Amino acid sequence: MAAAPRRYALSFTAGALLVREAALLAPVYVERRDWKQVRDQAVERNLLQARTRRTGIRLVHETVKRLSALADDEVELLLEATASERAYLMWAAACRRYELIGEFAEEVLRERFLLRASTLGHENFDSFVRAKALWYEELAQIKDSTMQKLRSNVFKMMQEAELLSAAGHITPAVLSERVAAVLIARTPSDLRFFPAQQIEG
């Protein structure tokens, strides 16, 4: 067993899945191959068309943080991906970047899907966080307002990735061969973040 991380990063309150933002910044990375240059250029030219500079900086930083969790071939795939492929890749990026989201996806979303539970509600997220809070002080000390923001953003991400309906019904992921291939290429397989059956690679 790998040692548990000392602290969970809980800074995923900017944007939601950031699919539109990723589609705008991925080509810049493919051209430059340098995340710092992507960040600088995106802020300088307001590539995300944010209303204020401060919002632009926050969105650029968060998008780059997520995109940099993807391998180069996955970032390249974003350029020609369909809307649903992009959403799946950005869900995988969020799960890799934020262990709390990744563990929730694996231990609750996917587990409920495999157990044939058709729905996922806020109470499932709350009880998941409460269980983790026994071991992680940062979760034990979380304010109600922060908890609501985190929960609402995770549910918004799942809805934008079309893994959950607005009514809370789990939607099985329909992964294209090329997206499934990049997810399976990782060890352990990143299919664990999706409501999907394991595909043998």
For 109-166, the pLDDT digits (tens) are 999 999 999 999 999 999 999 999 999 999 999 999 999 999 999 999 999 999 999 9
Q: What is the pLDDT of residue 105?
A: 98
Interval 34-46 mean pLDDT: 96
SS3 annotation, 130-167 = HHHHCCCHHHHCCCHHHHHHHHHHHHHHHHHCCCECCC
- pLDDT of residue 201 exceeding 50, the answer is no
Mean pLDDT, the chain, whole residue set:
93
Q: How many residues belong to the chain?
A: 201
For residue 39, the surrounding DSSP H or E stretch is helix 35-44
- CA neighbor of 85 nearest in space, from 106, 70, 63: 70
pLDDT digits (tens, 9 = 90+) for 92-115: 999 999 999 999 999 999 999 999
CB 104 within 8 A of CB 59: no
- CA distances (Å), 190 to each of 18, 114, 138, 141, in order? 19, 15, 26, 30
Interval 44-59 mean pLDDT: 94
Question: CA 101, 66, 120: angle at the middle one, nearest 5?
Answer: 25
